[in-house]
Amino acid sequence: MDGLVDLTNNNCSCRKFQLEQLPCKHVVAVCRFLKLNVYSKASRYYTRNTWLDAYLDSIYLVQAHKMWVIPEDVRSRVVLPPMAKVMLGKWKKLRIPSQGEGTITRKCSR
């Protein structure tokens, strides 16, 4: 593997461990080698209790449109769509592939 892991500071050279706060493949490999629990290295935000606490409060439904109280100054405002910018030049036919996406080679044989 090609990562440097510091479990005391929760750091890895690939930086996925710091960004996502979930163990990356390097941290998993080190935890397996040291026989540590991989789940203990995940952030507390990914735990079941945190998820339950986030949805603990009631979520109220939106009332019917007829029951809304809209102030007159808001009701009188006219909201226009954003100004469309005309793009000049030839359209781009190919999209830019994402970072992890490989290239597709097509071979036409005769």
User: What does the alpha-carbon distance between residue 46 and residue 50 come to, in Å, rounded to a whole number?
Assistant: 7
Dig out the tokens for 106 from the structure: 């097509």
Instruction: Collapse the DSSP code of 12 into the 3-class scheme (helix H, G, I; strand E, B; otherwise coil) and give the result.
Output: strand
Mind listing the pLDDT tens digit for each residue in 48-58?
Answer: 999 999 888 88
Dump pLDDT digits (tens) for 14-66.
Answer: 999 999 999 999 999 999 999 999 999 999 999 999 999 988 888 888 889 88
5 burial class (0-12, 13-18, 19+ CB within 10 angstroms)? Answer: buried
Tell me which of 23 and 86 has the higher pLDDT. 23
Least confidently predicted of 3-17, 55-69, 72-86, 88-102: 88-102
Choose the weakest-confidence range: 4-13, 25-34, 70-79, 98-107.
98-107
